[in-house]
Chains A and B, each alone.
Chain A
Amino acid sequence: MTLTRRELILTLLGAPALLSAGCSDTPRLPPAGELLGQSWEIGHRLRDGFRSQPSADQWQNVGVAIIGGGVAGLSAAWRLKQNGYEDFVVLELESQPGGTSRSGRCDLTPYPWGAHYLPVPLAHNRDLIRLLDQMGVVESLADDGSPVIAEQFLCRDPDERVFVEGEWIEGLYPAKGATEDDLAQLAAFRKEIDRWAAWRDADGRRAFSIPIRHSTDDAEVLKLDQVSIAEWLRQHGWTSPRLHWLVDYSCRDDYGLTAEQTSAWAGLLYFAARLKEPGADHQPLMTWPEGNGRIVAHLADQAGTRVKTGMAVTQIRPYVAEHQTTNPGEPGGVSPRTIREHNVRELTPPGSPRDLAEGDRLEVLAFDTASEQPIGFRTKSVIFTAPQFLAPRLIDGFTERTGRSAEQFEYGSWLVANLHLSRRPRESSFPLSWDNVIHDSRSLGYVVATHQSGNDHGPTVLTWYHPLCDDDAKAARQQLLKATWSDLADLVLTDLERPHPEIRSLVTRLDVFRWGHAMIRPRPGFISSRQRREAVLPDGRIHFANTDLSGIALFEEAFDHGLRAADEVLVSLAPNP
């Protein structure tokens, strides 16, 4: 089913946008723009059974193959290199690394295509502090070990504003028109958050900590994962629409889910984990014009030429002794002919993890999308940083061996647009901020790419975000795939037209990025599920790292999993004492 323009606006933006959307079937669109997205074609071909077999001269030996060049994969690479281990490759499907933290660039400024900020880590997150220090972001360490960040990397004031009832106001809470009861509920909510920020278990662990594996496993806290955050608010008697909006916005912003869909545990994590102590402000945010693309660039730079882009990994399989021939001239002593002539599944029947664990190597088959050549890597270990749902598709015998499934892993889609403006819109209320939120829209509003560089006049680039919060993630994804550039460009402009009536005349270019499986969804029950907790365990010499293993798609989680997986590999490769 293809939606009409008005149906699409109603579905994605909600009724208020429809009221202001013009009736014209030929809306005014920007003069230029593109529809961008992940490489779905190759992904879908893989789903449908496409495999590639490299020729004899297309095999390489490498110590560790990291599958995926997003934050988790690049962090794993960074950890390996920091430990002096440099025999690795990072295989990334897309033309540039970064995953959902990737960025774009025009003459004026770089701009984000996804994640665009990072809260300053608390003192306990020493690894992340080390990375930030290496990037030149940390000025010094305070006595308690928390980092002092150089001011140019902290989000420049004014950081956020919200468009409520025809006017921009400072901050995120829609304070305009709030009743005493609204404000009392907000205060009570903040007090409750402070209580959670102060909470410690017998071992001194916080209730909610980032990365989440530092959080307590106390049952009182974990049971919060069984209800939605909206339900949790109601249980406390908090019904203020403004408070619910604030929480709902925060959930959509961080998790791509509404408050009704988000686990209360995840919702509270958002508010409580980034308070240094009760009563403190939320940790300040670090940002760059290109968003977290700056961190990606640093990590990718550290990994250097070991990052191979345009590499579609098609299969990961055990390399067993039968493959070996007597030809010593072949890489790894293997005759690719032998492999080609055999059905791999027959050669490697569902085996026990021991098959892989006993020092045998793995084969990673990939398809180089640039040269259109299959290519193979023989490795000692693999760090698999693709989403879990791809594990059964890419790893031979994964399900049989591990008995794991990725059924409960649900991923939300996102729509991100970059609007190139000839100048800033004219307005009179609270001035243009870094983050600009529209109160009664289902979009998240936009961030301004030139804000952090101090460029306050003339042309700019706005990055507009919209998570698809539909219950049926798959249907939403399919709907997104069918939409054309014109549909989506009009959608973005219709949303921005309410605060900025002149926006259509200012946009010189509008690119839209469709993210299919953008974020793992922390719906009630998922974070505490056995399926999620087991997914983190290695499958023989295959180690896993991705935010979906945490259930929340935050930079810190990807980073933490990347480091953990790298550490697992380093331990397994270390010579036995």
Chain B
Amino acid sequence: MSEDSMNRAPLFLLYLNVLIIASCGLVYELLAGTLASYLLGDSVTQFSLVIGIYLSALGAGAWISRFVDERLARCFIEVELAVALVGGLSAPVLFLAFSSVGAFRAVLYGIVFAIGTLVGLELPLLMRLLKDHLDFEDLVSRVLAFDYLGALFASLLFPMFCVPRLGLVRTSLLCGLLNAAVGLWGTYLLRPLLSSRGLSGLRGRACLVIGVLIVALIKADSLTTLAEEHVLGDPIVYAESTPYQRIVLTRNAKGFQLYLNGHLQFNSVDEHRYHEALVHPALSAVKLPKHVLVLGGGDGLAVREILRYPSVESVTLVDLDPGMTSLADRFPPLAELSRSSLKDRRVTIINEDAFLWAGRNVGHVSNVPANSSSKASVAGHVENVPHEKFDAAIIDFPDPGTFSVGKLYSSRFYRMLRAHLTPDAVISVQCTSPLVAPRSYWCIVKTLESVGFQVRPYHAAVPTFGEWGFVLASGVPLPERLSLSSELIGPSRFLTDNILNSLFDLPPDLARVEAEVNQLNNQVLVHYYDQEWGAMK
């Protein structure tokens, strides 16, 4: 190999290659570590394992490089393309594996080792390619300098730009594309070192890899859209579009967050405040809750609180989306947070629209008795109820931002619900923020009153949400003072007897405002909600 066989001019371009290779290699490692800690939790363990496996794989690659003694340039390009493919597709493959493959860890560590080995092959091969053009000292100092510079570059770019702007999947695919570009470019840069035989095949393969990655990049939008990643801020670790809604989980250093159709449902950091406030006032108001109904709440967090009552014999959870009630199976951190409450033998899950569920099995629920003599009955006239009645109901629907959810806050719905309750049952309803959306909040209260419920409005501070509103309702007068059951299993993190009772003190800025009753045929609540939350944006 003579010096003339390789043009001196593009040498600095080769250093650029080193920079790119180094950056991409580190990004793959960071991606794997981030994904593993997001999906499996325990970031210290996950990062340690990923870094350890990755570094050992680099060593393995370097060691393997000694067995390559012919056609160095071709081999370098082949390795480049392999890194592009395996590394580029790593994040999407891991995402898919997470929701469909049981052996997620095996896939994860396998991919990390494969990428590490390939990246470990790259630099030794490149240095051997360059060794005839440079002094040994020069070569080592420059290549290693660019290698470490690339690492710095990647470690800055990854948290500051890649994760917040591109998301994990796109970051991985774009790095893959960069690797593939280096490979394709190498077929020109190293042309003098390559035999003509098979050259066009090599270039064809490079183009194929680029094509695959571009298609994957386009398809990545069906996993998570760029806009979604921007809006949610924190990196998306799980995304699924069910026939009913879009389920997205994001994760940051403090915890994870669940979004349904872009609306935050809980943050693992302070959800205990929300769920304790949602469940315990109602269950404290019932003497001995045995049969509890949960509407919505497919995350299992309200059920977790309900199962702390030893008296509870059955929990019936009605949630529209099987994708939601089975989410804990696919996202272990949620199973941990909910203490796998939905797997409890006392829990029955019904995946159905609660409106249709409440309307079925009820027989004839009517505020319109056929004979005028019973017209005074507010509770509604019920015949043929074939199933048990509930001592308490916890209503945890998403906020009434759409008409299909708004119906679940209507007077008709509450009338149907009453037919499923014992006469002295107590229910609690989550009803958006009374501070941000006072008309929405008091509309729900008024609607409950309109069907004959006695109500006690209350609130709780949930930092992620802000000032949050609930209401307790029952067909019989509610007790003035509540106390948490002494039988309650496990400690409460938010509620004490005093705090429980203080929730019912509404400050003046949450005072009642005028609102209409939310009926199916006016859906005023959806309009109020749209006005009040829309004005916030």
Is A458's CB within 8 Å of the partner chain B?
yes
B159-175 vs A, Cβ < 8 Å mask (1 yes, 0 no): 00000000000000000
Residues of A near B244 (CB, < 8 A) are 457
Chain A CB within 8 A of B521 CB: yes
Q: How far is the CA of A152 from the CA of B415 in the complex (A)?
A: 11
Mark the stretch among B64-72, B367-375, B390-398 that contacts chain A.
B367-375
- What B residues does A156 contact at CB under 8 A? 403, 407, 520-521, 523
Contacts of A139 in B (CB 8 A): 367-368
Chain A residues with Cβ below 8 Å from B370 are 136
Contact partners of A431 in chain B: CB under 8 A? 402-404
With CB as the reference atom, state the residue of chain A lying closest to B366: A136
Kindly identify which residue among A138, A284, A458 contacts B521, using a CB–CB cutoff of 8 Å.
A284
CB distance from A531 to the nearest CB of B (A): 41
Residues of chain A contacted by B521 (CB below 8 angstroms)? 151, 154-157, 159, 284
Type the 1/0 row for A275-304, where 1 means its CB is closer than 8 Å to any CB of B. Answer: 000000000100000000000000000000
A457/B320 in contact, CB under 8 A: yes
Asked whether any CB of chain A lies closer than 8 Å to the CB of B157, the reply is no
Q: Which of A144-170 contact B (CB under 8 A)?
A: 150-152, 154-159
Provide the bound-state CA to CA distance between A152 and B365, in Å.
11
Alpha-carbon gap, A231 to B406, bound state (A) = 43
**Interchain CB contact under 8 A, A457 and B366:** no
**B359 at interface (Cβ–Cβ under 8 A)?**
yes
Q: Is the CB of A137 within 8 A of B368?
A: yes
A498 at the interface (CB under 8 A from B): no
**B368–A136 contact, CB under 8 A?**
yes
Tell whether A306 is near chain B: CB-to-CB under 8 Å: no
B220 CB to nearest chain A CB (Å): 20
Smallest CB gap from A138: residue in B:
B368
Binary flags per residue of A175-188, CB closer than 8 Å to B gives 1, else 0 = 00000000000000
| B531 interfacial contact with A, CB 8 Å | no
Q: Is the CB of A454 within 8 A of B407?
A: yes
Please indicate the chain B residues that have their CB under 8 angstroms from the CB of A154 in the complex: 519-521
User: Complex: how many Å from CA A156 to CA B519?
Assistant: 8
- Docked Cα-Cα span, A157 to B407, in Å, equals 9
Q: Per-residue 0/1 for B392-436: is the Cβ within 8 Å of any A Cβ (1 yes, 0 no)? A: 000000000011101100111000000000000000000000000
**A83 CB within 8 Å of chain B:** no
Chain A positions 471-490 with a Cβ under 8 Å from a chain B Cβ: none
- Contact of B523 with A158 in the complex, beta carbons under 8 Å: yes
Dominant secondary structure of chain B at its interface with chain A: loop
User: Are A157 and B368 in touch, CB under 8 angstroms?
Assistant: no
Q: Which of A439-496 contact B (CB under 8 A)?
A: 453-458
The distance from the CB of A351 to the nearest CB of chain B, in whole angstroms, is 49
Instruction: Across the interface, name the chain B residue whose C-beta is closest to A458.
Output: B243
- Are A455 and B412 closer than 8 Å at their CB atoms? no
Pairwise interchain contact A454-B353, C-beta atoms closer than 8 A: yes
Which of the residues A140, A151, A159 comes within 8 Å of B411, measured between beta carbons? A151
Within 8 A of A (CB), among B346-377: 353, 355-356, 359, 366-368, 370, 375
Task: Report whether A157 and B523 are in contact in the complex, using a CB–CB cutoff of 8 Å.
Answer: yes
Of residues 297 to 334 in B, which have CB atoms within 8 Å of A's CB atoms? 320
B522 CB-CB contact with A under 8 Å? yes
- A423 adjacent to chain B (CB < 8 Å): yes
Task: List the B residue with the shortest CB-CB distance to A285.
Answer: B521
The tally of residues in B whose CB lies under 8 Å from a CB in A reads 26
A455 and B356 form a contact (CB under 8 A): yes
Residues of B close to A159: CB separation below 8 A: 521
> Are B368's CB and A150's CB within 8 A?
yes
- Expressed in whole angstroms, the Cα–Cα distance for A423 and B520 within the complex equals 23
Asked if residues B412 and A152 are in contact (CB atoms below 8 Å), the reply is yes
Interfacial chain B residues near A455, Cβ < 8 Å:
353, 356
A145 to B519, CA, bound (A): 22
Please tell me which one of the listed residues A136, A138, A158, A423 contacts residue B403 in the complex, with CB atoms under 8 A apart.
A158
Contact of B243 among A151, A152, A158, A423 (CB under 8 A): A423
Q: How far is the CA of A431 from the CA of B410 in the complex (A)?
A: 18
Within the complex, what minimum Cβ distance (angstroms) separates A153 from chain B?
Answer: 9
Quick check: A157 and B366 within 8 Å, CB to CB?
Answer: no
Residues of chain B lying within 8 A (CB to CB) of residue A158: 403, 523
The residues of B that contact A152 with a CB separation of less than 8 Å are 412, 520
Q: A137-B368, A138-B368, A454-B356 are in contact. Are A157 and B520 (CB under 8 A)?
A: yes
A138-B368, A139-B367 are known contacts. Are A456 and B353 too (CB-CB below 8 A)? yes
B475 to chain A, nearest CB (A): 19
Expressed in whole angstroms, the Cα–Cα distance for A155 and B407 within the complex equals 12
A140 to B368, CA, bound (A): 8
- CB under 8 Å from chain B, chain A span 102-156: 136-140, 150-152, 154-156
- B355, B359, B519: which contacts A151 (Cβ < 8 A)? B519
Q: Provided the pairs A136-B368, A139-B368, A158-B403 are in contact, do residues A454 and B243 lie with their beta carbons within 8 angstroms? A: no
Q: Are B243 and A457 in contact (CB under 8 A)?
A: yes
Q: How far is the CA of A139 from the CA of B367 in the complex (A)?
A: 7
Chain A's nearest CB lies how many Å from the CB of B227? 13
Q: How far is the CA of A152 from the CA of B356 in the complex (A)?
A: 13
Question: Distance (Å) between the CB of A98 and the closest chain B CB?
Answer: 23
**Alpha-carbon distance between A458 and B242 when the two chains are bound, in angstroms:** 11
From residue A11, how far is it (CB to closest CB) to chain B in Å? Answer: 36
Q: Quick check: A457 and B353 within 8 Å, CB to CB? A: yes
**A54 to B159 alpha-carbon distance, docked (Å):** 92
Given contacts A457-B243, A457-B320, A457-B404, contact A150 B366 (CB under 8 A): yes
Q: How far is the CB of A470 from chain B (nearest CB, A)?
A: 36
Contact B375 A140 (CB under 8 A): yes
| A455 to B355 Cα, complex, angstroms | 8
Which residues in A have their C-beta under 8 angstroms from that of B366? 136, 150
A567 CB to nearest B CB, Å: 25
Interface centre among B403, B404, B519, B526 (most CB of A within 10 A): B403
Across the interface, B359 reaches (CB within 8 A) one of A157, A284, A454, A456, namely A454
Query: Which residues of A have CB within 8 Å of B523?
Result: 156-158
Per the bound structure, the CA–CA distance linking A158 and B530 in Å amounts to 14
Q: Select the residue from A136, A139, A456 with max chain B CB neighbours within 10 A.
A: A456
- Residue of B with least CB distance to A455: B356
List the B side residues contacting A137 at CB < 8 Å. Answer: 368
State how many angstroms separate the Cβ of B347 from the closest Cβ of chain A. 23
* Nearest CB in chain A to that of B527: its residue: A157
Which residues of chain A are within 8 angstroms of B410 by Cβ–Cβ distance? Answer: 151
A313 to chain B, nearest CB (A): 35
Structural contact, A454 and B355, CB atoms closer than 8 A: yes
Min CB gap B444→A, angstroms: 16
Question: Are A456 and B520 within 8 A (Cβ)?
Answer: no
A138 to B366, CA, bound (A): 11
Q: Of all chain B residues, which has the CB nearest A284?
A: B521
A138 CA / B371 CA spacing, docked (Å): 11
Complex Cα distance A158/B402, Å? 10
Q: Which of A136, A152, A155, A457 has the most CB of B within 10 A?
A: A152
Cβ contacts under 8 Å, B407 to chain A: 156, 454, 456
A159, B523: Cα distance in complex, Å: 10
Question: Cα distance A287–B388 when bound, in Å?
Answer: 32
In the complex, per-residue mask of A400-420: 1 if CB is within 8 Å of any chain B CB, else 0: 000000000000000000000
Q: Which residues of A contact B411 (CB under 8 A)?
A: 151
- In the bound assembly, the distance between CA atoms of A458 and B245 in angstroms comes to 12
Chain A contacts for B375, CB-based, 8 A: 140
- A157 — nearest CB in chain B belongs to which residue? B523
Binary CB contact string for chain B from 497 to 537 against chain A (1 if under 8 A, 0 otherwise):
00000000000000000000001111100100000000000
Q: List 12 A-B contacts (CB under 8 A).
A: A139-B368, A154-B519, A156-B407, A156-B520, A159-B521, A284-B521, A423-B243, A455-B356, A456-B353, A456-B404, A456-B407, A457-B243
Apart from A151-B519, A454-B407, A457-B244, what 11 extra A-B contacts exist at CB < 8 Å?
A136-B370, A139-B368, A150-B366, A150-B368, A151-B520, A151-B521, A152-B412, A156-B403, A156-B520, A157-B406, A158-B403
Question: Residues on A close to B: CB < 8 A?
Answer: 136-140, 150-152, 154-159, 284, 423, 431, 453-458
Contact surface of B with A, Cβ cutoff 8 Å: 243-244, 320, 353, 355-356, 359, 366-368, 370, 375, 402-404, 406-407, 410-412, 519-523, 526
The 5 closest A-B pairs by CB, nearest first: A154-B521, A456-B404, A157-B523, A454-B355, A151-B519
